[in-house]
Structure 1
Amino acid sequence: FIGGSITEMNGYRPMVCAMLEKRFPLTDFTFTQAGISSTCSDTGAFRLARDVLSKGPLDMLFVEFAVNDDQDGQKSLQNALRGMEGVIAQARKHNPKVDIVMTFFANENILDHLGKNKNPPSIAAHSQVAEHYGVSVNHLAQELSDLINAGKMDWKKYGGVHPNQYGNTMCASMIANSLLDIWSKPIAKNGQSKAHPQVSPLDPFSYVSGRFLDFDQIEIDQSWKKGIPDWPKENKGKVRSRFLGAPFIYANQAGAKLKVKFNGTAIGAYMLSGPDTAIIRCTIDGKESKEIDTLHRHSGFNYPMTVMFFNELSNSGHVLELEILKNRKGRMREGGEALRVLHFTGN
Structure 2
Amino acid sequence: MPRTWVFTTTIGFAVLGLVGRSTAREAAGAGSDPYPLADAAECRPRDGLPNFLAKARTPGAEVRVAYLGGSITAQDGWRPKTQASFRKAYPDSKFSEINAAIGGTGSDLGVYRLKQDVLDHRPDLLFVEFATNDGGASPDQIRRCMEGIVRQTWRALPSCDICFVYTLTESAAGPMLAGKFPRSASVMEEVANHYGIPSIHMAMEVTRLAKEGRLIWTGPLPGPAGKVVFANDGVHPYAETGHELYLQAVVRSFGPIAAASKDAKPHALGAPLTPGNYENARLIPIGEATLSSGFAPVDLEADPEFRHFGARLRSLYRASHPGDSITFKFKGTSASIYDVIGPSVGQVLVTVDGGPPRVANRFDGFCLYNRLAVVPVATNLPDTVHTVKVEIDPREPDRMKILGERTKEIKQPERFRGTSFYPGAILVVGELVK
Under a length normalisation based on structure 2, what TM-score does the superposition of the two structures give?
Answer: 0.69
3-state DSSP of counterpart to 1:264: strand
For residue 176 of structure 1, the aligned residue among 239, 247, 251 is: 251
Give deviations 1:25-80, integer Å, cap 9, x for gaps.
22233321111222221111111101110012x3211111122223xxx3233333
Determine the C-alpha separation between the residues in 2 that align with 1:296 and 1:132.
37
Relative to 1, partners in 2 of residues 1:209 and 1:25: Cα closer, same or farther, differing over 3 Å?
same
Q: Which amino acid aligns with 1:224?
A: F
- Deviates further, 90-99 or 193-202: 193-202
For residue 189 of structure 2, the aligned residue among 124, 127, 138 is: 127
Q: 1:238-253 maps to which residues of 2 (within 5 A)? A: 242-243=308-309, 247-253=315-321
For residue 117 of structure 2, the aligned residue among 24, 34, 51 is: 51
CA RMSD across the alignment: 2.8
For residue 194 of structure 1, the aligned residue among 236, 258, 265 is: 265
Alignment check: 8 A CA contact 1:266 1:308 kept: no
Give the deviation of 1:259 after TM superposition: 0.8
Q: Which amino acid aligns with 2:283?
A: F
Partner of 2:88: 22
Alignment check: 8 A CA contact 2:164 2:197 kept: yes
3-state DSSP of counterpart to 1:66: coil
Give the deviation of 1:203 after TM superposition: 3.5
Alignment check: 8 A CA contact 1:40 1:65 kept: yes
Q: 1:122-271 maps to which residues of 2 (within 5 A)? A: 122-156=184-218, 157-159=229-231, 160-164=234-238, 165-183=240-258, 192-228=263-299, 242-243=308-309, 247-271=315-339
Give deviations 1:183-219, integer Å, cap 9, x for gaps.
368x8xxx74134453434434432222211233211
Relative to 1, partners in 2 of residues 1:266 and 1:32: Cα closer, same or farther, differing over 3 Å?
same
- Deviates further, 292-301 or 219-228: 292-301
3-state DSSP of counterpart to 1:291: strand
Unaligned 5+ segments in structure 1 are 233-238
Alignment check: 8 A CA contact 2:107 2:130 kept: yes
Q: Does residue 31 of the first structure (1) align with residue 105 of the second (2)?
A: no
Unaligned 5+ segments in structure 2 are 1-66, 219-228, 403-415, 430-434
Determine the C-alpha separation between the residues in 2 that align with 1:33 and 1:345.
21
Partner of 1:67: 132
Determine the C-alpha separation between the residues in 2 that align with 1:142 and 1:327.
48
Under a length normalisation based on structure 1, what TM-score does the superposition of the two structures give?
Answer: 0.84
Relative to 1, partners in 2 of residues 1:184 and 1:79: Cα closer, same or farther, differing over 3 Å?
closer
Alignment check: 8 A CA contact 2:285 2:424 kept: no
Give deviations 1:123-153, integer Å, cap 9, x for gaps.
2332222222222111123442232112232
